[in-house]
Amino acid sequence: MKLGIIGYGRRIRSMIDEMIKLDSACEIRAIADVRNQEIKRELGEDVSEKIAFLDHPEEMLQCMDLDGILIGTRCSLHAEMASRVLPGGIPLFLEKPVATNKEDVIRLKQGYDASDTEVVVSFPLRVAPLVRTVKEILDSGKIGTVEHVQAFNNVPYGGVYYHHWYRDENETGGLFLQKATHDFDYINYLLDIKPTMISAMVSKQIFKGNKPAGLKCVDCDEQDTCTESTVKMQKVHDTPIGEYCCFAVDTGNEDSGSALIQYETGMHVSYSQNFFARKKAAARGARLLGYKGTLEFDFYTNTIKVYRHHTPMVETYEMTDEAPHFGGDVVLAQNFIDVMKGKAKSVAPLEDGLLSAYMCLKASESAKTNTFQKIEWS
Give pLDDT, residue 324: 73
pLDDT of residue 375: 97
Q: Do the Cβ atoms of 362 and 373 come closer than 8 Å?
A: yes
Q: Compute the distance between CA of residue 120 and CA of residue 348 in angstroms, rounded to an integer.
A: 5
* Residue 161 located in a structural domain: yes
Same-domain pairing of 161 and 217: yes
The mean predicted confidence, pLDDT, of the chain is: 95
Whether 353 maps to a domain, the answer reads no
Residues 258 and 154 placed together within one structural domain of the fold: yes
Report if residue 72 sits inside a domain: yes
Task: Please give the DSSP secondary-structure letter assigned to residue 309.
Answer: S
Q: How much is the pLDDT for 321?
A: 77
pLDDT, average across residues 281-295: 98
Same domain, 84 and 54: yes
The pLDDT-based confidence of 127 (bands split at 50, 70, 90) is very high
Instruction: Give residue 74's domain range.
Output: 2-124+328-348
pLDDT > 90? residue 62? no
Distance CA 159, CA 333 (A): 28
Percent of the chain with pLDDT over 70: 98
The answer to whether residues 217 and 284 belong to one domain is: yes
Say what the pLDDT of residue 51 is: 95
In this structure, are 156 and 202 located in the same domain?
yes
Contacts of 73 (CB under 8 A, 6+ apart): 6, 7, 9, 81, 95
Instruction: Write the CATH number for 168.
Output: 3.30.360.10
Integer Cα distance of 286 and 294 in angstroms: 10
pLDDT of residue 353: 98
Please report, for residues 8, 78, 255, 359, the alpha-carbon distance to residue 160 in angstroms, rounded to integers and kept in the order given. 19, 20, 12, 23
Q: Is the pLDDT of residue 261 over 70?
A: yes
Whether 206 and 83 share a structural domain: no
Which residues, in sequence order, are bridge partners of residue 306? 295, 315
How many structural domains is the chain composed of?
2
Decide if 31 contacts 51 (C-beta within 8 A). Answer: yes
C-alpha span between 331 and 128 (Å, rounded):
7
- Please write the tens of the pLDDT for every residue from 94-112: 999 999 999 999 999 999 9
Distances in Å between the alpha carbon of 358 and those of 75, 106, 189, 354?
A: 15, 9, 15, 6
Same domain, 18 and 155: no
pLDDT tens-digit series, residues 80-94: 999 999 999 999 999
pLDDT of 291 reads 98
Taking residues 23-34, report their average pLDDT. 96
Cα–Cα distance measured from residue 66 to residue 11, given in angstroms and rounded to the nearest whole number: 21
Residues 120 and 133 in one domain: no
Position 170 pLDDT exceeds 90: no
CB neighbourhood size of 295 (10 A): 23
* Assigned domain for 180 exists: yes
Contact assessment for residue 309 and residue 293, using Cβ atoms and an 8 Å cutoff: yes
Distances (CA, A) of 38 to 8, 16, 166, 242, 341: 11, 18, 21, 18, 32
Is pLDDT at 11 greater than 60 in this prediction?
yes
* pLDDT of the residue at 236: 66
pLDDT digits (tens, 9 = 90+) for 182-241: 999 999 999 999 999 999 999 999 999 999 999 999 999 999 999 999 998 877 656 667
